């Protein structure tokens, strides 16, 4: 019995020592954690996906108009139909860039855009030729600071080599260049034959010497519903600030948070899901367009901020602003909530001064169904008949989405509609209220 008590004491002592050892191991355990990189990916799944993009993925045309003869006009606004054209043009070599007209009149511009045997790619904003080199390889050594928002390719049926023109409807300028290609038959097979099978388009006269080429057929678009998914603003804090560890977080009112250090400030609106990052100083100098676009895209690439399909839409070198529009299913998305569908940047001194964007991201839709929109020509007819609208002030008609944010259900609804550009704004054409002129949505 005496030995049994001794054994019990030894076992008890061993159990106590083992418990102490386990406890100490738990307290002292420190898991290996990777250091947070200031350029870490910012994405909805909070993973290590690197959302970096090339110019060709961000600067894209929104419309392709193909013209054979006076009454043979075709076109599309579908990205899947435009992409093959761009892929083929990437094979080309462009040379001999020369100015053609530096003061285009409205009549000259109209004549230029409506020639036979040509196609036109429409871009939402002016594009510097020098930064578009991953789409069009220009062999000229010294490329001037040329901007375009209409890219015209025309050909002579008797000559398989086309000519290309870079036209800006904003600055009213035109530059032309020649094209070299290894296989001359590819133009016919990859572009011309494809263009003949596009939807029927029609020139609608807006005023004397000015028309818009729009679809003369109904358009089938997809209505999508997404669950509202946020990107944690702290990920942007870690990516945008030089030292995230010294950033202070403050609650300012019911729907506003602020993150700041001694140099920069990030304001987060938790209601609209839009954040605004500012890093002084501001610059008042006119920006060089190619530098503005390059720095703006590099800035978002540096913190992997292209979380969805954002595309270049607008640039103003005087104000140093540049904007990128959200797209879904190849169509632009508009909202009456400021900043909820755009990435906006303002260039400061050698870096971005202001950066504004939504922190909601899109994954797979939970519900989709098709919607048939009337022909754009029917929309134009209704607008022309409206007594409350100056039809001559309309510059463009194109399809897009109205973003409806159902906060109670926690979903985002993308409703397809026609939009028309009127006095600096994209306005939704509502089929139920077409006599009332629609409602204001989108960008100024």
- In the chain, what are the domain boundaries? 55-217, 219-444
pLDDT at 22 over 80: no
> In this predicted structure, what is the pLDDT of residue 12?
55
**Domain 219-444 of CATH type 3.30.310.160:** yes
| H/E stretch holding 315 | strand 310-316
> In this predicted structure, what is the pLDDT of residue 50?
63
> In this predicted structure, what is the pLDDT of residue 431?
74
> Which is higher by pLDDT, 158 or 327?
327
Residues comprising the chain, all counted: 444
> Which is higher by pLDDT, 37 or 411?
411
- In this prediction, residues 140-169 reach a mean pLDDT of 90
The Cβ-side half-sphere exposure at 80, using a 13 Å CA radius, reads 2
Mean pLDDT across the chain: 87
pLDDT at 42 over 60: no
pLDDT class of 349 with cuts at 50, 70, 90: confident
pLDDT at 149 over 80: yes
- In this prediction, residues 397-401 reach a mean pLDDT of 98
pLDDT class of 278 with cuts at 50, 70, 90: very high
Residues 6+ apart with CB under 8 A from 147: 126, 127, 128, 129, 168, 170, 171, 173, 289
High-pLDDT (> 90) share of the chain, %: 75
Task: Look at phi and psi of residue 330 and say left if phi exceeds 0, alpha if psi is from -120 to 50, else beta.
Answer: left
Closest Cα partner for 281 from 293, 264, 298, 296? 264
The answer to whether 40 touches 32, Cβ cutoff 8 Å, is: no
pLDDT at 129 over 90: yes
The answer to whether 151 touches 166, Cβ cutoff 8 Å, is: yes
pLDDT at 85 over 90: yes
> In this predicted structure, what is the pLDDT of residue 78?
95
> In this predicted structure, what is the pLDDT of residue 183?
80
> In this predicted structure, what is the pLDDT of residue 6?
56
């Amino acid at each position: 019995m005496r030995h049994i008590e001794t054994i019990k004491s030894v076992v008890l002592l061993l159990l106590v020592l083992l418990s102490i050892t386990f406890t100490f191991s738990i307290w002292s355990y420190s898991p290996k954690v990777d250091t947070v990189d200031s350029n870490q990916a910012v994405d909805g799944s909070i993973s290590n996906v690197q959302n970096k993009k090339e110019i060709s993925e961000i600067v894209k045309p929104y419309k392709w108009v193909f013209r054979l003869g006076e009454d043979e006009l075709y076109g599309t606004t579908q990205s899947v139909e435009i992409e093959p054209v761009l892929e083929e043009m990437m094979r080309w070599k462009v040379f001999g860039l020369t100015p053609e007209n530096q003061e285009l009149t409205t009549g000259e511009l109209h004549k230029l855009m409506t020639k036979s045997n040509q196609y036109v790619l429409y871009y939402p904003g002016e594009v510097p030729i020098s930064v578009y080199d991953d789409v069009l390889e220009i062999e000229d050594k010294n490329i001037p600071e040329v901007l375009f928002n209409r890219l015209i390719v025309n050909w002579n049926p008797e000559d398989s080599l086309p000519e290309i023109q870079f036209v800006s409807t904003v600055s009213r300028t035109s530059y032309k260049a020649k094209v070299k290609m290894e296989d001359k038959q590819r133009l016919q097979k990859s572009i011309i034959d494809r263009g003949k099978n596009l939807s029927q388009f029609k020139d609608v006269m807006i005023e004397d010497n000015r028309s818009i080429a729009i679809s003369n057929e109904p358009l089938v678009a997809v209505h999508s519903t997404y669950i509202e998914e946020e990107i944690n603003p702290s990920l942007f804090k870690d990516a945008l600030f030089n030292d995230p560890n010294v950033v202070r977080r403050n609650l300012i009112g019911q729907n506003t948070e602020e993150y700041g250090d001694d140099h920069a400030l990030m304001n987060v609106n938790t209601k609209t899901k839009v954040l605004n990052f500012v890093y002084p100083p501001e610059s008042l100098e006119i920006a060089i367009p190619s530098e503005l676009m390059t720095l703006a895209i590099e800035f978002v690439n540096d913190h992997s901020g292209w979380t969805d399909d954002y595309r270049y839409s607008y640039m103003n070198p005087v104000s140093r602003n540049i904007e990128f529009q959200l797209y879904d299913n190849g169509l632009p998305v508009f909202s009456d909530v400021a900043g909820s569908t755009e990435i906006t940047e303002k260039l400061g001194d050698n870096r971005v001064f202001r950066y504004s964007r939504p922190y909601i991201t899109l994954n797979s839709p939970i519900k989709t169904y098709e919607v048939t929109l009337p022909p754009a020509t029917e929309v134009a007819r209704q607008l022309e008949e409206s007594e409350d609208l100056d039809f001559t002030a309309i510059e463009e008609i194109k399809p897009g989405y109205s973003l409806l944010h159902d906060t109670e259900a926690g979903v985002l609804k993308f409703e397809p509609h026609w939009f028309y550009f009127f006095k600096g704004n994209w306005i939704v054409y509502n089929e139920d209220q077409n006599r009332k002129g629609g409602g204001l949505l989108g960008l100024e």
